[in-house]
Amino acid sequence: MSVSGTERNSGSGPVAASAATMRLSGSWLIIVRTVWLVLVVPSLGLFVVGLPAYHHQIQKPCVATMCNIAGELTVKGLRALTTLGVSVSGYAVFLTIFWVIIIVVWSGIGFLLFWRRSDEWVALLAAFALVMFNLTYPGLSTTVLSFFYPALDFPITLIGLLGQVSFTLFFLLFPNGRPVPRWTGLIIPLLIVQAISIVVPPSLPFSQNSWPGWLNGLLSLIIYGTIIVSQIYRYRRASTLLERQQTKWVAFAIGTVATGFIVFGLLFNVFFPVVIQPNSPYVLFQFVYPLLLLVLPISIGIAILRYRLYDIDVLINRTLVYSTLTVLLTLVYFGLVIGLESLVRLLTGQALQSPVIIVASTLAIAALFRPLRRRLQTIIDRRFYRHKYDAARTLAAFSATLQNEVDVHQLRKHLLAVVEETMQPTHVSLWLRQDEQRSKPHADV
């Protein structure tokens, strides 16, 4: 294993990386690639072999207090499904195809990373984690296969262990493959212990289910707290400009997934609890979670392949603006509806929900949309993108100056000031070429 500096091109242009990246070469590269394929290909094979078993099992009602197969319904749920005009076999086919698509996306990005970046240690780890992590999603074909063939319990448990360890280890070592600061490497044994406790059967004493709740919480707090501290320290103290952009992509994906899980968790548990019941045909809405998780492999793939890295700043900016705008307009809308209804009740003494109130509130929201969006854009640019905001204002002012200034010397001063303020170079100089007036012969045509 060798360490060398790298220089890559992003989708937006050349980006130089001065930090050393852990790279594999020679016999080490051949050995690691072989081990990767030996572990990954049979694991995918078990998933494919288990698809018929999953398709068969999903058509049967679950009789346990907790259904362990993803998408499995009770007898009542299957009957409710048929009343909606959906056959049980069609439901099973849909779920089977759905999970195949999910696994294809995760594994496809993993194989793409293996093909393009397998000589980089962190890219190889990411490729391995993306393929292995989702293969043991609770209740998928690989898990169902162990119900019919108990002899496969050990290899399936091993796949789950490797997937859990590699995925968490990736977030600890990303983006350059080293623990930063060095002491964060001490949590790797704890990470392995936690992964083992998650994947082993609940009947074993080492299972997480047999631990006291406070111990599980403490272990998770130490592991994930260390990862968060490590990534913040990297970003502020050790990362290059390229590595910071990579970190932004992955952090944005994690933030999106976490926010989505919280929002949908509240919706399903507080407002629509019927969705999470195995006797409800609306259980399909739960599969918004696997779709939401697709943000992770896509963002990791972009970050490691350095594809359009610098677009993340625009994406984060627009997300901040429009998410805040949506929340504010929603609050204003309901505030107007409730306020106007209260006013009507106070004046007329009747509790009436008039269509006029709905129309007036909607028109008010439409009128507020553009000015509120511009105001939010300005606030976010000033708060989070101050340097770019000042640079944009300076360039806009210089554009206005170009239209009015005719003195070359004054224009030169303005140009140097703009370059110095927006780019902040160590030295600025301007060379003007003096064109000589030369007489040229004219030819009459």
Distance separating the N- and C-terminal Cα atoms of the chain: 74
Span 77-107, pLDDT tens digits: 788 777 777 788 888 888 889 888 999 999 9
Q: Which residue has the higher pLDDT, 425 or 2?
A: 425
Which whole number is the average pLDDT over 337-357? 69
d(CA 411, CA 409): 5
Span 274-291, pLDDT tens digits: 666 666 666 667 778 888
Q: Which residue has the higher pLDDT, 50 or 207?
A: 50
CB 301 within 8 A of CB 109: yes
CB 110 within 8 A of CB 128: yes
DSSP state of 286: G
Of the ranges 77-86, 245-254, 322-331, the best mean pLDDT one: 245-254
Closest CA to 371 of 316, 314, 332: 332
Domain coordinates in residue numbering, the chain: 2-307, 320-384, 390-423
Is the pTM above the cut of 0.85? no
d(CA 176, CA 18): 11
Percent of the chain scored above 90 by pLDDT? 11
SS3 13: strand
d(CA 48, CA 53): 10
26-49 vs 88-117: helix axis angle to the nearest 10?
A: 180
* 12 — pLDDT class (breaks 50, 70, 90): very low
Output the pLDDT for position 178: 87
Percent of the chain scored above 70 by pLDDT? 71
Beta-carbon contacts of residue 425 (< 8 Å; ≥ 6 apart): 419
Residue 132 has pLDDT above 50, yes or no: yes
d(CA 395, CA 415): 10
